[in-house]
């Protein structure tokens, strides 16, 4: 039984990171209908920015997170302006291929600058150790990851539902042209969406590198793909769906590693994507929206 | 007029001399190829081997070369990738015209190059490819290290005899020949010695999270956990062993070498099999360490360095003894190798595998200590 609870804790830890990254996918998809494959690399850059804030600038961990999030928010907006904005009215497939190109560019750019050798994230003294209840261990890293993820998800939900910016985002996502006619600055809104999504991705990246100690140029690929699956699982374009999808993914992964086989877990996780697409293409929380003719 | 003639004669004389110089220089070097990973997960291995090979070549050249010819080393990065290894091998053979090859470093890339070396009749010695399948089918392929089954079996013997362990868990990279080879041999030998394998779990190279599988392993409380993988993954797993509170002794193979550099705190008190120990008092070992430190700013060579040095020396000795740069003659000289090397005395069996001893190393306070030498 304690083993099962431990597996649930492990699953929620990984799941909350997937959820953070999935939010970026889902927000961008919701607003420009683009699957931003470079989002996994935002996670990687976030981890690098976090690493350098700690090792080079000697910032405390909390401040390092802020620096990484701010830097990635900027990079996210920059990517949008340089790579995606010129293609706003091009066929969707062009933007998708551009996203793959941006992803490859970022990975190789970081590999050339910093090398492919994984860099070790230093131990964060304040995060060592954890709570022990019998045989169950709950490390401080896990607690911090889950709390930070939930706080930022709630904050995001507040921004989207209660603020003027959020209202603009919802308007643009519903109908870009109508929003423009109503006086919404569409490009600015899209930029803000990229910034928010990228900041959350960076947070995910720093938390990921603290949990798994290593920072390397290709570290974003796997969690990026899994977060994408999480976003689809929950219903792409729907913010609570991404959160739910992230946690479900983390739990499935953890339980299949624990009780089936760790070499099968990726096959199971991606198998689930196929099943979801077959039976409920719009995701767990997705509604079937009829195409406007 | 006269002056011009003198000038012309002088010039043509100089040109002739210059040309003679060129003509003389070309066949005067012995071209040795080296394939190592200098970027990627195991870059530290490749760099260690390259440094050591450079040292061995420099020593031979300083002592007058082979039959008065200097040795020229051509070194390329294969990024620890099989396809890339084949590309650089072709480049070494077709463009650089090497007579013999040292490398590649890791098993999967050596397996890719071995059939090509056989086909082109280029004698090849991998310093560190421990997978069983690297040598048997290819007469031109040798190695300077012992094989995976031999190593995995020795670690199992160490676990059951020296540590008196009765239960063991095995966690290995199911997508890697090296890791799988060691895991299988460990399991077979440990069970033959009367031990029980409580878990036998594979993972994939992309996995970063091992807490789920470690939690399952923890429930069965194995006395030792065998994790035959390379240092970066070992560091990752060892940290998570601590995180889930699994109380066990981790054991590993030579892929652990260098793990103490970044992960000393999480692997403290654990053991791994290696090719040589820096605290071995043998003068061959100590002389090599000193020469390496003098050349590379006080860096102590790891086992990869020792094997890279041994492999290069063995190959150059064979070329010297063969008195020729023909593949077949070098091959015959290699087969007759009987020499004291840094990582133990080396003779080759019919497969091209060396017969030598295994050192079990303990990580203690960030340093590596020789725990036991387990014989042939």
Q: How many residues does chain A have?
A: 293
How is residue B244 written in tokens? Answer: 């889930």
Phi, psi of A268 (to 5 degrees): -65, -45
Beta-carbon count within 10 A of B340 CB: 11
**Tokens 């609570």 -> residue:** A240
Identify the closest residue of chain B to A221 by CA–CA distance.
Answer: B206
Q: Is the dihedral of CA B291, B293, B297, B302 positive or negative?
A: positive
Instruction: Mutation target for A interface from B43, B170, B213: give the one with most A CBs within 10 A.
Output: B213
- The tokens describing A50, both together, are 């976090």
Strands (E), chain A: 119-120, 130-133, 136-139, 214-215
Q: Quick check: is A292 in a domain?
A: no
Contacts of A115 in chain B (CB under 8 A): 39, 43
Contacts of B95 (CB under 8 A, 6+ apart): none
pLDDT band at B12 (very low <50, low <70, confident <90, very high): low
Q: For residue range A27-58, list pLDDT tens digits in order.
A: 988 888 888 999 999 999 999 999 999 999 99
Q: Mean per-residue pLDDT for A74-79?
A: 95
Among A residues 223-242, those touching chain B with beta carbons less than 8 Å apart = 223
Q: What is the ipTM of this complex?
A: 0.75
> Which residues of chain B have a CB within 8 Å of the CB of A120?
235, 262-263
- Is A284 among the domain residues? no
The answer, yes or no, to whether residue A185 has pLDDT greater than 60, is yes
- Cα–Cα distance for residue pair A14/B86, rounded to 1 Å: 38
Residues forming a β-bridge with B363: B368
Residue A71 belongs to a domain: yes
Average per-residue pLDDT for chain B: 88
Which residues in chain B have their CB less than 8 angstroms from residue A13's CB? 211
Cα–Cα distances in Å, from A209 out to A205, A247, B220?
A: 6, 19, 29
Please identify among residues 76-135 of chain A the ones whose CB lies closer than 8 Å to any CB of chain B.
111, 115-118, 120, 123, 130, 132, 135
pLDDT class for B22, splitting at 50, 70, 90?
A: very low
pLDDT at A293 over 80: no
Partner-chain contact B212 A263, CB within 8 Å? no
Nearest to B213 among A208, A219, A257 (CB): A257
Average pLDDT over residues B248-266: 89
Binary contact (A117, B40; C-beta < 8 A): yes
Q: Tell if the CB–CB gap between A14 and B209 is shorter than 8 Å.
A: yes
pLDDT in tens, A248-262: 999 999 999 888 887
Q: How many CB atoms lie within 10 A of CB B200?
A: 15
> Quick one: tokens of B295?
């050349």
Residue B356 clears pLDDT 90, i.e. is over it: no
Please tell me the distance from the alpha carbon of residue A259 to that of residue A135, in angstroms, as a whole number.
18
- C-alpha span between A13 and B253 (Å, rounded): 31
Select the residue of A130, A213, A258 nearest B235 (Cβ to Cβ). Answer: A213
Structure tokens at A12: 């929620």
Encode pLDDT of B315-330 as tens digits: 999 999 998 899 999 9
**Cα(A134)–Cα(A131) distance, rounded to whole angstroms?**
10
CA distance A249 to chain B (A): 13
How many Cβ atoms are within 10 Å of B72's Cβ, its own excluded? 15
Q: A222 to chain B nearest CA, in Å?
A: 7
DSSP A211-237: HH-EE-TTTTHHHHHHHHHHHHHH-TT
Residue appearing with tokens 């497939």: A93
Helix H or strand E segment including B200? strand B196-203
Are A139 and B243 a contacting pair at CB < 8 A? Answer: yes
Q: Is B133 on the interface with A (CB under 8 A)?
A: no
Q: Residue A177: inside a domain, yes or no?
A: yes
Chain A interface includes B95 (CB < 8 A): no
CB contact under 8 A, B206 and A135: no
Taking the C-alpha atoms of residue B51 and residue B47, their distance in angstroms, rounded to an integer, is 6
pLDDT score recorded for residue A281: 83
Nearest C-alpha neighbor of B204 from the set A265, A229, A14: A265
Examine residue A287 and state whether it is found in any structural domain, yes or no.
no
Residue B255, phi-psi category: left (phi > 0), alpha (psi -120 to 50), beta (remainder) = alpha
Q: How far apart are CA A130 and CA A128, in angstroms?
A: 7
Residue A138 lies in a domain: yes
Cα gap B178→A230, rounded to integer Å: 33
pLDDT at A107 (0 to 100): 92
Q: B38 and chain A: CB distance < 8 Å anywhere?
A: no
CA distance B167 to B186: 12
Q: A22 and A42 in contact (C-beta within 8 Å)?
A: no
In angstroms, the CA B154 to CA B148 distance is 10
> DSSP secondary-structure letter at B275?
S
Q: Against a cut of 0.90, is the pTM above it? A: no
DSSP summary character for residue A83: I
Nearest CA in chain A to B246: A135
Q: Is A184 within a domain?
A: yes
What CATH number should be reported for the domain holding residue A53? 1.10.3470
Q: Are B65 and B71 in contact (CB under 8 A)?
A: yes
Q: Is the pLDDT of residue B10 over 70?
A: no
Does residue A286 belong to any structural domain of this protein?
Answer: no
How many folded domains does chain A comprise?
A: 1
Give the domains, in start order, of chain B with CATH numbers: 26-146+280-356 (3.40.50.2300), 149-274 (3.40.50.2300)
- Residue A264 belongs to domain spanning: 2-279
Q: For residue B202, give the chain A residue with the closest CA.
A: A263
Contact A263 B235 (CB under 8 A): no
Partner-chain contact A262 B40, CB within 8 Å: no
Smallest CA-to-CA distance from B119 within B319, B327, B312 is with: B327
pLDDT for res B23: 42
Judge contact between A95 and A198, C-beta under 8 A: no
Distance from CA of residue B125 to its chain's centroid?
10
Asked if B209 lies within 8 A of A259 by C-beta distance, the reply is: no
pLDDT(B207) > 70: yes
- Which pLDDT value is given to residue A100? 93
List the single best residue of B174, B206, B211 to mutate versus A (max A Cβ within 10 A).
B211
- pLDDT confidence bin for B1, thresholds 50/70/90: very low
From the number of C-beta atoms within 10 Å of its C-beta (0-12, 13-18, 19+), residue B369 rates as middle
φ, ψ dihedrals at A266, nearest 5°? -65, -40
Query: Average pLDDT for residues A216-226, to the nearest whole number?
Result: 91
């Amino acid at each position: 039984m304690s083993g099962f609870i431990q597996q649930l804790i492990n699953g929620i830890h990984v799941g909350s990171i997937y959820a953070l990254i999935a939010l970026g996918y889902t927000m961008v998809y919701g607003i420009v209908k683009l699957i931003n494959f470079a989002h996994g690399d935002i996670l990687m850059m976030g981890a690098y920015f976090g690493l350098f804030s700690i090792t080079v600038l000697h910032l405390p961990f909390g401040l390092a997170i802020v620096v990484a999030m701010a830097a990635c928010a900027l990079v996210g907006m920059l990517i949008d302006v340089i790579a995606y904005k010129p293609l706003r009215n091009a066929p969707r497939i062009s933007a998708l291929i551009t996203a793959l190109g941006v992803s490859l560019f970022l990975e190789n750019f970081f590999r050339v600058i910093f090398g492919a050798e994984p860099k070790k994230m230093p131990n964060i003294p304040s995060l060592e150790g954890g709570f022990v209840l019998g045989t169950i261990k709950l490390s401080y890293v896990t607690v911090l990851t889950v709390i930070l993820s939930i706080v930022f998800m709630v904050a995001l939900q507040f921004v989207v539902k209660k603020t003027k910016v959020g209202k603009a985002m919802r308007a643009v996502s519903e109908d870009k042209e109508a929003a423009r006619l109503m006086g919404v600055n569409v490009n600015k809104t899209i930029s803000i969406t990229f910034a928010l999504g990228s900041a959350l991705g960076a947070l995910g990246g720093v938390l990921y590198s603290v949990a798994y100690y290593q920072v390397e140029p290709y570290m974003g690929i796997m969690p990026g793909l899994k977060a994408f699956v999480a976003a689809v699982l929950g219903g792409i374009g729907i913010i609570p769906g991404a959160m739910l999808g992230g946690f479900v993914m983390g739990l499935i992964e953890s339980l299949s590693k624990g009780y089936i086989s760790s070499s099968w877990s990726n096959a199971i996780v991606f198998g689930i994507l196929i099943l979801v697409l077959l039976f409920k293409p719009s995701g767990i929380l997705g509604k079937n929206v009829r195409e406007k003719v | 007029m006269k002056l011009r003639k003198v000038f012309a004669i002088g010039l043509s004389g100089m040109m002739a001399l210059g040309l003679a110089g060129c003509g003389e220089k070309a066949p005067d070097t012995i071209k040795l190829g080296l394939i190592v990973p200098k970027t990627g997960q195991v870059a530290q291995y490749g760099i260690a081997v390259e440094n050591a090979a450079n040292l061995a070549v420099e020593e031979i050249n300083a002592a007058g070369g082979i039959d008065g010819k200097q040795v020229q080393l051509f070194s390329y990065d294969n990024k620890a990738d099989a396809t890339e290894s084949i590309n650089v091998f072709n480049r070494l053979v077709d463009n650089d015209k090497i007579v013999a090859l040292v490398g590649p470093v890791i098993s999967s890339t050596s397996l890719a190059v071995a059939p090509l070396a056989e086909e082109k009749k280029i004698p090849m010695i991998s310093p560190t490819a421990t997978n069983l399948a690297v040598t048997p089918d290819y007469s031109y392929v040798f190695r300077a290290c012992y094989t995976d089954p031999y190593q995995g079996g020795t670690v199992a013997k160490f676990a059951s005899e020296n540590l008196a362990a009765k239960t063991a868990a095995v966690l290995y990279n199911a997508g890697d020949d090296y890791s799988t080879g060691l895991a299988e041999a460990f399991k077979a030998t440990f069970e033959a010695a009367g031990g029980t394998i409580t878990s036998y779990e594979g993972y994939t190279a992309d996995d970063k999270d091992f807490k789920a599988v470690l939690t399952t392993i923890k429930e069965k409380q194995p006395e030792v956990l065998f994790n035959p993988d390379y240092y970066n993954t070992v560091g990752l797993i060892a940290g998570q062993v601590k995180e889930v509170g699994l109380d066990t002794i981790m054991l590993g193979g030579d892929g652990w070498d260098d793990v103490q550099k970044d992960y000393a705190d999480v692997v403290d008190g654990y053991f791994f099999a290696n090719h040589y120990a820096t605290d071995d008092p043998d003068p061959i070992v100590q002389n090599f360490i000193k020469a390496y430190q003098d050349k590379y700013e006080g860096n102590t060579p790891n086992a990869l360095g020792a094997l890279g040095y041994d492999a290069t020396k063995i190959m150059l000795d064979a070329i010297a003894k063969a008195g020729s740069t023909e593949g077949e003659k070098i091959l015959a000289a290699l087969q007759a190798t009987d020499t004291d090397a840094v990582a133990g005395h080396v003779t080759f069996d019919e497969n091209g595998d060396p017969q030598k001893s295994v050192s079990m190393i303990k990580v203690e306070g960030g340093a590596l200590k020789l725990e036991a030498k387990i014989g042939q």
